Amino acid sequence: MFQRTRRPLAAAIGVATAVALLTGCSGDTPSDGQNDGPLITDPAEVTGDITFATWWAYANQDLIDGFTEMYPNVNVELQFTAVDSYPTKIQAAASSGSLPDVFAAQNVTLFGLQKAGQLYDMQEALGTAPADGSAASWGDAFVPALLAGANSGMDTSGGEVWGVPFNAISVAAIYNKDAYDKAGVTPPTTFGELLSTCTALRGAGYIPLSLTGKVWSTWWTSLAWDQTMRDDKAADFSIDNPNYIKGFELVKDMADAGCWDESQISTDIDAESSLFLQQRTATFVSVPENFLQTVADGADFTLGTYVVPALGGVTPNHTLGGGNANVIVISADSDNKSAAVAFAKYLTSEAVATRLAGEAFTIPSIQIAAVSSSPLMTAYIDATANGFTDPASNLPANTPEGLLKLQNEILPGLILGTLTPEQAAQASADIWQQ
Amino acid sequence: MSQLHHEQRRDTAEARPRPDARQSHTNSPVLAVLLVLPAVVLLTLFLLWPIVTAVQYSFTGASGFGDADPVGMANYERALTDGAFWGALGRNVVFALIVTAASLAIGFVLAYLLFLRVRGWRGLQVLLMVPYILPVVVTALLWKFMMEPHGGLFNSALRAIGLDALANPWLSSPSTALGSVSLVQVWQITPFAMLLIFGAMIAIPTEVIEAADLDGAGHATKMLRIVLPIVRPAMILTAIVIAIGLFRSFDLIYLLTQGGPINSTTISTLYIYVQGFVNNNYGYANAAGVLVGVFLVALAVIPRIAQRTQRRRAEHAEGTE
């Protein structure tokens, strides 16, 4: 009997499998969100509920309460998730069609969402009035390079704006003054001094610089290319460009001067923070915000900060365009775009930027004077004095996989000496969108 | 007495259902379907459906963000020509070979020690199981701490005895990372091998060992010439189970190295994870997963086919004699 029933059962399963395969995936295609009528900007008329997801600890309920005072008919639900699991949460929400109305995104998550049609085009919204301040429009309020950075790597051929920068990020060096004194060195101001500082600190038994190989190592090539490729155009990019190869050479010079340990090619932010707080590493090169807060709270030695010298020593360095680090986006499927846009405007308003700069280690992404909340922030603000790099001007944007390849394969190979600068350049052929 | 016996037998015969009635009852297709339905539903939901979904996604360009455009065989073509995928699979083979061989060898020796009933063998049995019982997170943290390049136990010990030159960033150097990860995996999996082999050893008849003792066989002879051949089938089974497990393993390596440095510990599962959840190539990751799945099925089935063929040949040879 079971012999007889096995075949029909197997056949039924086979048919079900084939049907499932042939019909393709049945995931809902997100709507483009463009046909939901004009945006309502009058606070009295904007109503309804929206959700806001983020990993930024300082974007807390107090901040949201400030918005509901301005928009009393809008209820904002805060969904906070730790940074480690945040991308997975957003990916799952996107797959199931339940993205928050307004949320934070960056890098590959941002690119993936845009490619999948999950983001609302804020082009129209940027033409409307800002939440406060004197800018003619919301779009004009932003630092242009940061707004460009927030949309770098995504298809903006029709003038689309997929995200806006929340806070700017600059890179500076936090150093252990005791270690520098012991090694008899002072903060370097030129690239040559940076190399000799590395040698001196190494001689005093310290690891001179953090690398944060798993996360931030690509900063060094970006800082180098900002100088060596300043006169180049992204449209003419070639991996054989000597200025491009020169960027790899500068990083190689730093590795040869002993600025980093072999083990640092695999370090994450926690590991580098620990090495610094344990006084094994003399300098922690970091962005501000909670990272600076962590070492400021944990250090039992004298701290100082300085602007990272211009690599190559040719021109003043621009600050790395932190515009694509803290990006606010709106879901294409949001049922309440007017409230979502109003909330995004509020988050990037002068009032919020000023308040956060005073309370937390943040730098505004809008065109207002930066306020230093601590002496440690001085270098981060000074680092912005020469403006931000526009990632799209000198180099094509990275592909999402390309950034990972640069970080996990090419730069480690360069630092460990298994790749020459020329070989590193050749190996990087597929990391750029061309 | 005889009458009673006869009546009892008759009652029993009447109480017993007639063969025809029983047959027709169990032959009911409705009952059969009802009985197998729960199992079929559960298998479909938790086994078949995920596999079908994975195969389905493998034919799409899904990024994991809600899009799933069909791309035909492109993902499979990409996987079959992707050096990084084959590199990860090759690394997995090396990792599985090292760990399986080492854990079997050490597991066999430890099992033999227990088999000999060495002093305190019961306590030793429990102690040796500790690495296998420990949660993977604890194991990873423990070894990460010991292999830490600056103040870790390994390098501190090497420096203390003047072997500074041998101090190494064990988990962060491309030349030592796979070996270091393999070492941790061997430490963790050996008790499992030991337990299975020991189970086979205690089934060996005592007469066999006594006969060997009478013949004056030493420990090495007994271990290698008598015990090893007897437990070999159990060791082969253990090897297959461990090897398949190593192709499915993810947590330990992820916690120790996340596949780095320079992909030196990226085995197939980590490669698939990175493609699916870091690079957002969800469709491609599913295609790679399907290919690894087919490889694993082959790994599990081929030894059984070979074993069956060997047995049939032996039976055939016996028949011709």
Q: Can you give the CATH number for the domain in which B247 is found?
A: 1.10.3720.10
CA pair distance A369, A381, nearest whole angstrom: 10
CA A308, A310, A312, A318: dihedral to nearest 10 degrees? 120
Residue A184 distance to chain B (closest CA, Å): 23
For A244-278, write each residue's pLDDT tens digit: 999 999 999 999 999 999 889 989 898 999 999 99
Tokens 């063929």 sit on residue: B309
Please, which residues have CB within 8 angstroms of residue B163's CB and are 6 or more apart in sequence?
none
pLDDT in tens, A295-340: 999 999 999 999 999 887 777 676 765 545 789 999 999 999 999 9
Question: What is the rounded CA–CA span in Å between residue B84 and residue A309?
Answer: 37
Q: From the CA of B105, how many Å to the nearest CA of chain A?
A: 32
How close B149 comes to chain A (CA, Å)?
A: 7
**How far apart are the C-alpha atoms of A273 and A266, rounded to whole Å?**
14
**What is the pLDDT, as a whole number, of residue A304?**
95
In a domain, B261, yes or no: yes
Q: Which residue in A32, A207, A266 has the most chain B C-beta atoms within 10 A of its own C-beta, making it the best mutation to test that interface?
A: A266
Average pLDDT on A143-162 reads: 88
Residue A401: closest C-alpha in chain B: B279
* Yes or no, beta carbons of B65 and A28 under 8 Å apart: no
CB contact under 8 A, A116 and B263: no
Q: Which of B48, B70, B258 sits opposite A13 (nearest CB)?
A: B48
- Say yes or no for a CB contact (<8 Å) between A409 and B263: yes
DSSP code, position A373: S
Q: If you measure CA to CA, which chain A residue comes closest to B171?
A: A263
pLDDT for res B211: 92
Domain count, chain B: 1
Cβ(B239)–Cβ(B196) below 8 Å:
no
Residue A14 pLDDT greater than 70, yes or no: no
Does residue A21 contact residue B55 with C-beta atoms inside 8 Å? yes
What domains are defined for chain A?
Answer: 48-168+323-373 (3.40.190.10), 172-318+398-427 (3.40.190.10)
Q: Say whether residue B149 is in contact with chain A using an 8 A CB cutoff.
A: yes
Q: How far apart are CA A321 and CA A222, in angstroms?
A: 10
Starting from the edge strand earliest in sequence, which strands make up the sheet with A327-330, in order?
A74-80, A48-54, A102-105, A327-330, A164-165
Q: Judge whether B76 lies within some domain.
A: no
Q: What pTM value is reported for the model?
A: 0.80
Range of the domain at B180: 87-314
pLDDT at A391 over 70: no
End-to-end CA distance of chain B: 56
Q: Which helix (H) or strand (E) holds A74?
A: strand A74-80
B27-44 exposure pattern, b = at least 16 Cβ within 10 A, e = fewer? eeeeeeeeeeeeeeeeee
B69 assigned to some structural domain: no
CB neighbour class for A204 (10 Å; exposed up to 12, middle 13-18, buried from 19): middle
The answer to whether residue B75 sits within a structural domain is no
Which 8-state DSSP code applies to residue A234? Answer: G
Is there a domain that residue B253 lies in? yes
The string of DSSP letters for A93-158 reads HHHTT---SEEEE-HHHHHHHHHTT-B---HHHHTSPPSSSS-SSHHHHB-HHHHHHHTTTS--TT
Residue of A nearest to B56 (CA): A21
A5·B278 Cβ contact <8 A? no
Using a CB–CB cutoff of 8 Å, tell me whether B19 touches chain A: no
Q: Which two tokens stand for residue A9?
A: 């059962």
Written as tens digits, the pLDDT of chain B (321 aa) is 444 455 555 555 455 555 555 555 567 888 989 999 999 999 999 989 999 999 999 999 998 888 889 999 999 999 999 999 999 999 999 999 999 999 999 999 999 999 988 888 888 888 999 999 999 999 999 999 999 988 889 999 999 999 988 999 999 899 999 999 999 999 999 999 999 999 999 999 989 999 998 998 888 899 999 999 999 999 999 999 999 999 999 999 999 999 989 999 999 999 999 999 888 899 999 999 999 999 999 888 887 888 888 888 888 887 776
Beta-carbon-side half-sphere exposure of residue B272 (alpha carbons within 13 Å): 21
Nearest to A263 among B59, B149, B277 (CB): B149
Q: Is B257 touching A (CB cutoff 8 A)?
A: yes
Q: For residue A329, what is the enclosing H or E element?
A: strand A327-330
Amino acid at A294: T
**What percentage of chain B carries pLDDT values higher than 70?**
91
Residue closest to A324 by CA, chosen among A167, A218, A115, A96? A167
CB-based contact A322:A287 (threshold 8 Å): yes
- The answer to whether residue B38 is domain-embedded is no
Q: Residue B113 burial (CB < 10 Å; 0-12/13-18/19+)? A: middle
B263 contacts in chain A (CB < 8 Å): 408-409
Could you tell me if residue B226 is inside a domain? yes
Dist. CA B254–CA A242, nearest whole Å: 38
Please report whether residue B95 resides in a domain: yes
Residue in chain A closest to B169 (alpha carbons) equals A263
B145/A213 Cα distance (integer angstroms) = 19
Out of A17, A27, A409, whose CB is closest to B66?
A27
